[in-house]
Structure 1
């Protein structure tokens, strides 16, 4: 086995690239979709629980604002763990194959989520529950750190080249399904008596994740290895040190991936967690109302399920970079009008802002990104490259955005300008990054060199 990034013979690589196994494509799409659904179900129930109930349940002695910041800090800890999970599982995916990782990560994520539903609260066991919450959140983050990287790598290496954007976006419908399940559950729970909710009803969404785990594991046990990895093994090009190759040859593309993700992942977190908290917290626009935010996410998820595929397919026709650039520009221009309209106090307007911000702003970047990130990297270190790009950006843009935002809201007396500026800055980073991003549409994924 060589550790050098050699180039595969094009004649040998071409059949694997052009010949598509319909059964394998169907299984890969289903397996990736279910995994995405579980990850984002966990993401939304934890994010919404952090915004609405974890503060008083686990961090009561810190006061209202302190408890909220501590709650969002545990949310951020999970994101901080993701790069380590991406690094570890990325190595396994590039060294031993893509499908093995997808089994491990789904089991780790789901088990941690289920266990959160069993934790004792502060009133039951003091700070023991908070400590265990942090530990389980770290485990959840380790699994999630390779889940989406694995899903995008898997489906991109199986899909037909000319329609890769479309097929790579299909599993991300699972994100919307997970959002529908997570936000829908909390929308229903928000209608319950607060005493009943905090007394034990909050546990139900976490315990219910065991159902998704069972389905996902069953589907993934039937997966085949991707044609690209089979070609690597056939030509003895499987590397023993994918991280070393990534460090030597791919630093620029990792930085590009991080920059592209800032606007998409960061704004997703702002809309799904920080905005919900901003509206419901004391002094917020809809103080004490725990229904409006989750209901808005529910509506937005329905539109997003369609639009993420649309933008992925559009990137096949006009190019990944062009779709991404205009998506980031839209999010940038929408930031100030969006969060100003939230302050006007109309529920329908809040929901309209969430639908436009999430289903157009976020999905116009996520759609082309599904295929673009795998296309940026060579086959010997693709899994590790995608994982590092996704998860390092997730720490800064997605993980700590709610915590930092909550702190800024606290010191600015809940000013909506905090949300607007935060959204604009993150979208601006992605917009600027598109000008140094190579166009990757139609790239041969059997090549071991990075896109340039």
Structure 2
């Protein structure tokens, strides 16, 4: 099966502009999203799910986090279809607007002590809307970057939007680190809301940048040839379900592994190790800086050796370091805790940096937005359950940290195996190993 050429005109300047637009929107997406994940570990269990049992409160908070992930595949179906029928650019403008507005509303939401049971219900509903929008954002950002990129540099340009993840982490964790300097009473009453409200001006900036993006050459070509697929979702499920399953596995470590090393560790560190939340947030910041460097390297390696090979190598390397990562964290020594978090995030960032070009290469242009959305959001749905599963298994084992390390290994190996199968299912065939 041979795909039509992506475009007759692909130049570095246009590709850079498209990658920048994808990066800015992606950064806002992850900023908003990581605010929620950090708040799920530090705030929502107290403000919206108050309970006499701290484990129950934490699990209820993480369950709300998981609900948003469950909504993501639905959003992927909605916005994937929109992206394949209406266009990549229009879809990305809509998704980023919805994400920013929803996050701002969370910052205004009264807590459980003010409006009772309505508070967690409204928080859950806002999280669902956020999850729906997230379902179309990441996949669209990756696709518009890849479809503007010269063939020899698709690995590099597909990696650039991925930097939005650590940038979002830096912004969100930095914002929480600043407000965490407030007194506990001020932080609990109003301080934690400020990072959520900051999403509104960030949204305006993202909309300005994205509004200047051109439609992807691949989509324009489909329009000119009258080759728009009118039922792309069903076509993916009928013809490309194997690609979707493999794509899910390829993306799993970069998403699920990250939430294990950050969200779960923040909860574990504050609740079990009695570490200061500022230390753990600082660890996330240091890890995010390292992640940016690793993603840049992964993009270069993807163009040189092939993105699938980078995914396989990164998955195996992460499996090898999983237990040392959590042993370092378990020491509760500040320097070693930060080193463990940084090492874990660095390992999983290699497959994360390369996964965008792998996923884009699995689907024909007519089905690409829907296919990538289905694969990535299926992975995101499973990933959203990782902190919840890790907390439950950890508690059931009597607080044995090896359970989290074993889960990290399992996730890493799933990604490595999926990376082995990806070239066989790519639209470019086995040669995609060097795609």
TM-score (norm 1): 0.91
Structure 1 partner of 2:325: 338
Structure 2 partner of 1:28: 18
Map 1:107-186 onto structure 2 (within 5 A): 107-186=97-176
What CA RMSD, in Å, does the superposition of the two structures yield over aligned residues?
2.0
**1:7 and 1:306 mapped to 2: Cα distance?**
34
Q: Answer yes or no: is the 8 Å Cα contact 1:329–1:428 preserved in 2.
A: yes
Q: CA deviation at 1:22?
A: 4.4
27-36 or 107-116, which deviates more? 27-36
Q: Answer yes or no: is the 8 Å Cα contact 2:244–2:371 preserved in 1.
A: yes
Map 1:206-217 onto structure 2 (within 5 A): 206-217=196-207
**2:148 and 2:270 mapped to 1: Cα distance?**
44
Structure 2 unaligned spans of 5+: none
Structure 2 partner of 1:243: 233
Structure 1 partner of 2:296: 309
Map 1:4-43 onto structure 2 (within 5 A): 13=5, 16-17=7-8, 19-43=9-33
Give the secondary structure class of the aligned counterpart of 2:297. helix
Q: Answer yes or no: is the 8 Å Cα contact 1:44–1:272 preserved in 2.
A: no
Structure 2 partner of 1:350: 337
Structure 2 partner of 1:436: 421
Q: Answer yes or no: is the 8 Å Cα contact 2:363–2:427 preserved in 1.
A: no
**2:161 and 2:419 mapped to 1: Cα distance?**
24
CA separation of 1:338 and 1:74: change in aligned 2, threshold 3 A: same
| Alignment equivalent of 1:49, drawn from 39, 54, 58 | 39
Deviations for 1:8-28, whole angstroms, at most 9, x for unmatched residues? 7x6xx47x24x2244432331
**2:53 and 2:375 mapped to 1: Cα distance?**
36
Equivalenced residue count is 431
**1:74 and 1:224 mapped to 2: Cα distance?**
36
CA separation of 1:88 and 1:78: change in aligned 2, threshold 3 A: same
Structure 2 partner of 1:300: 287
Q: CA deviation at 1:194?
A: 1.5
58-67 or 122-131, which deviates more? 58-67
Give the secondary structure class of the aligned counterpart of 1:380. helix
Q: Answer yes or no: is the 8 Å Cα contact 2:250–2:418 preserved in 1.
A: yes
State yes or no: 1:382 paired with 2:372: no
Q: Answer yes or no: is the 8 Å Cα contact 2:324–2:340 preserved in 1.
A: no
TM-score (norm 2): 0.95
Deviations for 1:118-140, whole angstroms, at most 9, x for unmatched residues? 11111111111111100000000
| Alignment equivalent of 1:417, drawn from 395, 399, 402 | 402
Q: Answer yes or no: is the 8 Å Cα contact 2:95–2:133 preserved in 1.
A: yes
Deviations for 1:163-201, whole angstroms, at most 9, x for unmatched residues? 111111112222221111011112222332221111111
**2:355 and 2:425 mapped to 1: Cα distance?**
11
